[in-house]
Amino acid sequence: MFDVGFAEILLLSIIGLLVLGPERLPRVARTLGGFVRKARSSWISLRHTIEAEIRAEEFKEPLKNFENEIKSTVDSVKSGVDKLKAGMDSFKDPLKDPDPAADGNSTKPEEPDDSV
């Protein structure tokens, strides 16, 4: 991230020692280290979150394509079923009870004789 070498760290330590003194320098160094640690962990957490979102977006596109394929397959199956139903309805009509008057064989069933 920052290109800080040994010479720069040594120079900053000497300046910090002169400005802050030997009593406060360790405490300030510890506090600065804590801030750097928190900033680094926040950055890593943010990076992991962004990477996870990118991976999730990469998976959404194939899933959306698969969903569209499934919908088109379901629609074609439904249209096929509707055509079969229409075809079955045309076969049912001749099989329905025919109208006896239409055949010309209109014979009434004989009623039983009660005179016995």
Asked, for residue 112, whether it belongs to a domain, the answer is: no
- Whole-prediction pTM: 0.43
Q: Which residues contact 106 (CB under 8 A, 6 or more apart)?
A: 100
Q: How many residues does the chain have?
A: 116
- For the chain, helix (H) and strand (E) counts, in that order, are 2, 0
User: Which of these ranges, 2-11, 31-40, 94-103, has the smallest mean pLDDT?
Assistant: 94-103
Mean pLDDT of 22-26: 87
Q: Is 8 helix (H, G, I), strand (E, B) or coil?
A: helix
Per-residue pLDDT at 89? 75
Domain residue limits at 11: 7-92
* pLDDT 10s digits, 36-79: 999 999 999 999 999 999 888 888 888 888 899 999 999 999 99
Asked, for residue 1, whether it belongs to a domain, the answer is: no
Asked, for residue 43, whether it belongs to a domain, the answer is: yes
Asked, for residue 114, whether it belongs to a domain, the answer is: no
